Amino acid sequence: MKKEETHISSYTSHAIVLIVLLFLTAISVLVTGWHFGPFSVAVALIIASIKVRTVITHFMHMKFESLFMKLMVTGVFVLFALVIIITFIDYYLR
Amino acid sequence: MNMSIQENHNDHIDSETGKLGMWIFLFTELFLFGGLFLVYAVFRAKYSEDFHSAARELNAFIGTMNTVFLLVSSMTVAMAITAIQKNQKKLAMFLVSVTLLLAALFMMNKFFEWSHKFEFKLYPGSEVLKNLPRGELLFFGLYFMMTGLHALHVLIGMILLSINFIKIKAGKVNQAHYLLLENSGLYWHLVDLIWIFLFPLLYLIT
């Protein structure tokens, strides 16, 4: 088995990720303040998903994990999305 | 010499499996909150007017402030791991305590927010809440359940971080063995992830 080097994230990269996250939060607050109805709901949820992805890839170090871990985490999120979609199909077609 | 290589190798495997176990636990947490998100989504679709007016009762400013606290604390805990990997013990301890401070600020905000609701007799099972339109009742029920469960996770995270602080100080969590800090960090990030979704759903979309 080959020896894997542990990747050490730099302080600067963590700080940049934080700035991106704060920026996205600001956009999300501003956009929902305009009251676009269903549109702002969609924007808020899309921004939240981008933020979650950023936290998982950088802060939770998923970028440097094995392919197995990446597939597993992606799989669980896909499963969760399917649960929501199937529930709504059931709910609207009742 | 061979002995130490063998030990290092085992440590590496242990840390991989340890992290894998933590992730599997986090998946169960995701579905715990996921169930509540699903209930929220369905009721929101059914009672959208009531959800709109009830969400207006929430203070978006406090919500935004708490979002910032959690995002910054997520960064400090990630930096604490970098510090321990670089063998900067003092800095790691400092960063863990900043994380704890931010978590305490979050809880303090939550306390004021909830007490404010209680002053207006808005709490689960109150007469005022029972007389609200059905959708608003559901919104507040979900609000208290979701933020309450989340706050419980913040508290557990704070306990985990305090244990880490003590162990880093004692040298038990160090450059060679920091799985506990890594897994506590993952848990803390999960707390942040849940809040990233709770915040727009409860506070912003009015």
CA nearest A56 in B: which residue? B189
CATH of the domain at B152: 1.20.120.80
In A, which residues are within 8 Å of B64 by CB distance? 25, 29
Token pair for B179: 């799985």
Model ipTM value: 0.90
In B, which residues are within 8 Å of A56 by CB distance? 189, 193
Comparing CA positions, the residue from B18, B5, B182 lying closest to residue A3 is B5
Number of separate domains in chain B: 1
The predicted pLDDT at position B72 comes to: 98
If pLDDT is split at 50, 70 and 90, which confidence band does B206 have? low
Q: Which of B31, B71, B82 shows the shortest C-beta gap to A18?
A: B71
Q: Please state, in angstroms and rounded to a whole number, the distance separating the CA atoms of residues B83 and B178.
A: 11
Cβ pair B98, B76 in contact under 8 A? yes
Distance from CA of A32 to the nearest CA of B (A): 6
Domain segments of chain A as ranges: 9-60, 66-94
Structural domain for B92, as ranges = 2-204
Q: Is the pLDDT of residue B60 over 70?
A: yes
Mutating which of B30, B79, B203 best tests the A interface, going by the most A Cβ atoms within 10 A?
B79
Q: What is the pLDDT of residues B127-171, one digit of tens each?
A: 888 888 999 999 999 999 999 999 999 999 999 999 999 999 999
Mutating which of B193, B194, B201 best tests the A interface, going by the most A Cβ atoms within 10 A?
B193
